[in-house]
Every structure is written in structure tokens, then in C-alpha cells.
Structure 1
Amino acid sequence: MIKHPQTHLWAALKKRFADQRAPSTSPDRLLRGLCVVPLDGQEQISTFSLGFREAGTVVRSVSLSRDFQGLSELARPDMPCYLLVYVGDVQQAGSGSGKSHEGGDWMLLAHVPAVCSAFEAKRLADARTALKAELGADAFVSAGMWVVSPDQITLSNCMRTLDGQSREPNWSPSSPPKPSSPPKRAPMQADDFAERLPVVGDAPDTVWEERIHGLRVAYTDSARRLVGALEELEQTLCGLTGDEYRKDEPLLHARAHMVRQLAMARVR
């Protein structure tokens, strides 16, 4: 039987993840996260039976915010992938008294860009359990994240996901926020995404098309609101400095980035 030419990369990924969990691993070799993508040649099949490979890493540091910034840069806006994220110290920071969440010290995050087809999104949802099992299901917390943009890969969203899983079992980021909480757009939890469908494996493509369409609309709407707020900020800055405000020449990198994202969405 002919082996896939990248099979060794799947074995290497499993070994590296196992090493991360080993107590004897040197602190300078510990990672905050690994970016994982399917091996080549699985584009047209319904499962990732050939395995996965590593596509980038972020070294663990004392700065959680800097680490999560690095994680968001691992996920390209147009690249579906998984992120294996170490959250052991995030749980401690959130609880203030050591580990308080079920499961292990790692979280599986699925990055599913708006450019993904319903077929691609369904495969990524279906493969989560199998990937955890191959790497060691006991290594992962019960909570999971499902994001459509690298901008959603943040420390605050991770902490909210962990907190929501432990305090509100039926918590869903798509539900209206509580009156005492400011409105926020949280990343979709992977488990909630699957549970809202009758049977994930048997869901028709039309259901997935509607789901992906809804995610695209929600992201585009949020991006437009953000661009409007950044335009107001630029106008205020120009008023303070005396410079002329030009809408077609963004002063802030964030507005330029969001304008490009909206332009890409219109092209699609």
C-alpha cells in the first residue's frame, strides 16, 4: 500500500503535541499554540482521514496578550485551520484560584473564514472530535471556539468562552446579551454551532449554506460599524491637529484593514 507522501508530518505533529504535555519539556520549548491544517490531497473527500500537519507555532511567553496576538497572525484570513491553544494559565488568570474548568489545558479553536464553502465548513466541524481523539482527548477543555476572522482570536474572547462554558452550560454567543452586560459580538462556540443542527453528519448542504451566509452577513455588518466608528475617530483627530480629513485616505491602520476586508467581501 502506497503511503501519503506527507504521512510523516502527521506523525511529527502528534509527537510534538505529546512533547508539549510532557512534564520534562524544557520551558523554553513550550508553545502557546500550534496551527494545524489538513494534509494535501484531501480537498474533495468528506473526511480528513489522511491526517494533519503543523503550519506554524507561537512560543509561550509571560505575556498572554502578546501570545494571542501571535495566534491571530497564524490564521490567515483566507485559510481554514485549527489552532491548538494552551489555556492552562488563561484558566488560572480567569478564576484567580487555579484551574477551575473541566478537561485538560488545551483548547481546540476552529478558524473558518467566510470564503469557505458549506462543504469545507461541515468537514471542519465534523473533524474536531476525531482530531482531539488522535492527539489525546483528555488534553482538551470541554469548551471550544469557532471563529470566522483572525480578529476574533483574542485573549478576552478565549476567557469569555471558558467562563461561559463553566458558569452557563447553555450559554451561546448568538443569544442576546444580558441587560447588565454591554453588547459584544463573541466568537461562536464550536460545540454550540454543532448542537443547533439536528444531526451534523446528516445536515443538508442548504442548511450549511444558510449558516455560512449568516456568518458572512454578521461579520460584514460588524466591520461596517467598526469602520464608521474609526471614521469618526479620524475626524476628531484631524480636528485636533488641524489637518484636512479625507475619507478615502485612512489615517488609522485599523480602518485601512477593515476597508480592505469589506472590499474583499463585496468581490465574493
Structure 2
Amino acid sequence: DAQALVVRNSHGRDFDEPYLDLTIAAHTLRVIETLYDWFDSLGASRPDIRIVLHSGERLSLEAHNRGSLVGAIRRDQPWVERSIPHIGDHVDDITEIDDDAVGDPVIPVGQSALARERASLAVATPERAVTIRDLNHIAIRVTDLARAEQFYTAFFAMDLLGRARRSPQGGYISLNGNYSWEEARRTGQTADVTFLRNGPLTLALQSLGLGARLEWGLLDHISIRVDATTFLNLKGQVLMRSYELLAVEETAFVFRDPFGTSWEITLQGSTSVM
């Protein structure tokens, strides 16, 4: 199941090179098996065919076998793992998701909107006693607040909303935007909480102090849904940084970050693995 998307003159070489570049889209690395089947059928007069890795390195099919070439691709792109995720295989799962759990109902293609409306009118929905409008934030306890800020802003591309100190009378006192960790440590006025946000997700990082001991189990896990590009990017970072993987599926994975928090990352429309 592969398709040649782009055929163009070879780049990165002399202008008179007789080679062509082919960009192929495939759902799995089984495309390498297909390439070798075709390559072997060409006989002794077969041309010099090479695979260009993400790093730019060119590997000759003649100099490798099927297994070694697949291994080279996995080392070059560690997020590939066993296969490229089947982005679209999760579409049918949408009909199995609880509409109340994800907000507005998702209507699959081909289903009559009028039929769905008539069905919904036939059953009286009881009024909810508790109505939750939105998620304010998720509070995470950390021992090193400055380091936690750096990790979450970089890993999840989160924006800094603000910092605050605990008030002796209770509550928090906001710190100004010119806050500096170096100056705060020198004066003993370090922040006690930092608020970060990316889209609908807001984190409140609460400092316990460098000498505190964190116990797992206070929070089971946090689950977020992302698009395909973000899914591959985050999975690649988790593998390259050797974070602990707790569960892995084609359209979802769970890892534990350096601060002991478990994150479930799922593709839009896919089911949970936790």
C-alpha cells in the first residue's frame, strides 16, 4: 500500500547526474520488502538504487539486505519504531467514543443527520445535576520549579502565563514579568507556583522544594489528544531522551516525564490505552 508522490531530477549532486528522486508515501516499512522484490527482479543489469535517509545519508540497496536497511531507517528515525503509524485506521473508532465524554457528537460520514436528530428526540435526556463548563488547570507538584518550567515549555511548547508566591494570609501573590530565577534565589523570593498553557491545557506547577520527596500515585496520569504531526514529534522525543514508556499502541502511547508524571498522548479520534 504505497504511492509515488513526487518524481524529480536528483538534487544534491552534479546537474548532469542521470538519477531521479522518487518520494514514496507508505503506511509501513513493508514497502522495503516490496522495493527489494522489484530490485531482485531486475536481474544483473539493475541500476544503482539508493534510499536517502532523513539525515541525508544515501544507502545503496545493493550494499544492504532487507533487514539491515530497515534497521538503518529505524536508527535514523527512532520515532518510526516498528512501523509508521496508520493515521486513518482510527476513524472507525469514532463511533465507539462516548459522546458525553468528548463534547459535541461526532457524526460519521454516511449517517443521516435527520435520522440521528429523530433518534435523539425520541429519548428524553435527564437534566444534569452537575454541569462542568471547562477545565481550569492541572496542578503538578515538582521539586525543582525552574527546571520544571524549562521542561514543560520546551517539550509541550507551552506559554508562560505567570508566576506567584504563597501569601501568609493564604492564596497567592502574583510576581511581575521581570522575574529572574537568579535574582529570586539571591533574594530568597523564589516563586511557589508557575502557570503554563498550550491550547486548552493549563498546568499549575507547584514547588515543594529541592529537598522534598515525590511519591508516585498522587496523580495517575494526564491524557491529551494531539494531531498526527505533534504525535510523531512527541513520540520521537520520548524515545530519543529515553523517557520511561509505560504503554505503546499505534495511535497512543504513555510515558513518565522526569518529574514522575505519566502522560497519555493519543491521536484525535483514537481510544485510550490506559
User: TM-score when scaled to structure 1?
Assistant: 0.29
Report which of the two has the higher share of strand.
2
Which has more radius of gyration?
2
TM-score (norm 2): 0.28
